[in-house]
Structure 1
Amino acid sequence: MSLRPAIRLARIAVLAVAVALALSACSSAAPVTQGTGQEATAPAESSDAAQPHGYVEGAAELAEPQQLLAAVDAAGAVRLLDPVTEEVAELAEIGAVRHLAHDGRFLAATTADGVTIVDTGVWTVDHGDHAHYYRAEPRVVGTLALEGEAGIRSSESTTTVLAGDTVVVLDRDALGQGEVVETARIAGAAPGGFAAPVDAGTVVAMPDAVAVLGPDGAARGEEPCADPAGGAVTRVGVVVGCAEGAVLATETDAGVELERIDYPAGTDPALRATGFDLRPGRATAAAVAGEAGLWLLDTRERSWTLIETEDPLVRAVAVDDAEGHVVAIDASGRVLVLDGDGAPVGATGPVLAASLADRTASAALALEVDASRAYVPLASEGAVLEIDYADGARIARSLAIDAPLHLAETGR
């Protein structure tokens, strides 16, 4: 089979910067540093020699992650909640949002006008053996003329936005400077599939295969994948869900390799995964398995594990690789913590029952998980619940913020 996606290469803007940046850059406005308890690294002087490792123009590098909770209400008001100080900043009005996705820094908000990109101004760059944490001025970057619920993924240099059957490839350095620079547009992608940047290319779910496309649009590899749906970026590589299991794309010295990870023999098609979620930097992703419970997809071991639960789940996020812990929301509205065998570690009461009973709130319901806390929105109560999932799903705080219909935790 030969894939010939339609590619329209756009003009790539040349960014006049002092050095070739390996990381995305942000606004040159004064960096925001409140609520961290850490001193910002002073921007380097003009000479290359004076610029420290990890330098990003216009951003402050700090000693710890700079998490923010980005909340969007039904009318499209974007607010940023600092969980350290509990202060709320009004950022922008972008119009009613039908769907919200994020890549750990940028929001992709689907509105009637297209897909609006918002820079929350906090992000982490993970280099494996160490990480860099940044904070800069948040802002609305611009709107892409796309239709359909958008997904967004980024590498250090490239951002991909998938909406409908179109993937737009953006220069992430420029995006961090407040400019939308489109470097490629890929037509014919699978709606509801997945796209993510890889080394010198893009992994894209096409209608019947997962393809690796080079900057010129030529297919550099493909693997059959029936009815693609959902995906994730793990520590090992890019995963795309398929009717028969998943396709994993990994970067090697020889290029990007594609391999299938099939479901166990005899798996009921009703249990297939159509969405994956995990705490950033993990190798294992979780996915709801119909009404049976959840799947754990270990991308290191190339294996699926079905975990049955007492009640059906509506959300599931893999928290760690060693113990296989998962934070989930069940159909009754409880937030659960499960171990790798599905045994309950803790649970809240049905705190999200009202949200699940409301069609709009249920469709937008987010479960955001970081290294120590999980967050869920309560739009009707004007609050975000902070849950200590390591302490039996204890509700640690209720953070006040106006009508948080959509929620995204950035800076992780």
Structure 2
Amino acid sequence: MRILVAGMGTSGYWAAHLALRQGHEVCACDQRTTADLALDLSKLLEMGLVFYGGSESPGLLEGMECLILSPGIPRRSALVRSAMERGIPVIGEIEWGFRHAKGRIAAVTGSNGKSTTTTLLGELLGAHFSDVRTGGNLGRAFCEMVEGSTEETWFVLEVSSFQLESLERFKADVAVLLNITPDHQDRYARFEDYQAAKGRIFQNQGPSDFAVYSTTDKAVAAFGAATPSIHVPFTTAGELPEGAFVREGRALWRRSGGEELLFRLEELPLPGVHNLENALAACLAARCAGVPEGALAEPLSRFKGLPHRLERVGEVRGAAVFNDSKATNTDAVLKALTAFRSGVVLLLGGKDKGADWASLVPEAKRCCKAVVAFGAARDKVVQAFKGALPVESYATLREATGAALAMASPGDSVVLSPACASFDEFRNFEERGERFKAWVREARTP
């Protein structure tokens, strides 16, 4: 088969690698040239890849039988439209990996919390099963992981809305939908389009599969309830007739056979209601995957979370400092703030993604003493918080970090939870978080 892979980031690279290993004739294209790509294509070129750099022209589709689309390329692009007009199948890297994988799949999506939930679920399964492979939108590409898989393999995949757009046959044995809040307005013209993409996590499930979903969000609950699979709902707000909830410091799973203790809240090492929700979802998914009752607490208690997710960096002159660089939308910030009672100096800013800044004001007034705005979105942040809280504005995160640390008193908390993308100053949220931590370490040095 003649295949064109569009986009040569991590997903495209490993989709092309797998296709070449399978004996297909593979071409790839990217708007960047070979010199601009983060990955070295020399191995793929040796395997027979033909690469067209600096172009994603529809003319490259001539003679192609399949287009494998990297998640960063929207389906409204000229390349995709041309492929569909020509009757060429358009699939994503996750779909291509699925067609070559053996074993079972647990897939996780949501606007926020999916990386933490995916990683925790991978560790819970890894404590019981011998071959557990975690990746997808997080870390390793699915196509990289499929080689050597067997019927005993468990794949634990984080799947983004961009990846969900291009699924066809993909099916998760256990699918988890955490939440859907406004995000990626630069990609989706309507919030309903974004919701629909997230809801595809339950696509193709049957009566022996499991759908784990939150009932707090009405859209999430509707997607979960509409699946023909086994329903496994959860909430942190009240109790459910059937499903998981919290009562008197214990996370419980109520089913027809009674109530099962999943874990005690004191065994969860991560702060915040959002991490309680992540833990509920991961533990339910693990039980659905076959981890025995009573086997969750020990691996859960060892879980330390991920970098850049409300990560405690240390203290500067008696003030605790937290790196929550992964919080790239307002809902993530709201969830982070639930971990604090008062005394927060909140760093907000970066490249705006269409955030509803006003939605942050009530919760920020509850627990924040000041807001420090930075980056391209700083004027919008200042406008939203003017008159509600003391707010200062700086062009760069480095300047803002110094100001925030200077504002904080002993017992306060300085929290970078920006509600924005990082691309105005940094390559990604990871670089932003690492730079922030480095500046904090400098401030701690006498």
Give the TM-score normalised by the residue count of structure 2: 0.28
Q: Between the two structures, name the one with larger relative contact order (CA 8 Å, sep ≥ 6).
A: 1
Between Structure 1 and Structure 2, the one with more helix by share is 2
Give the TM-score normalised by the residue count of structure 1: 0.30
Greater Cα radius of gyration, structure 1 or 2? 2
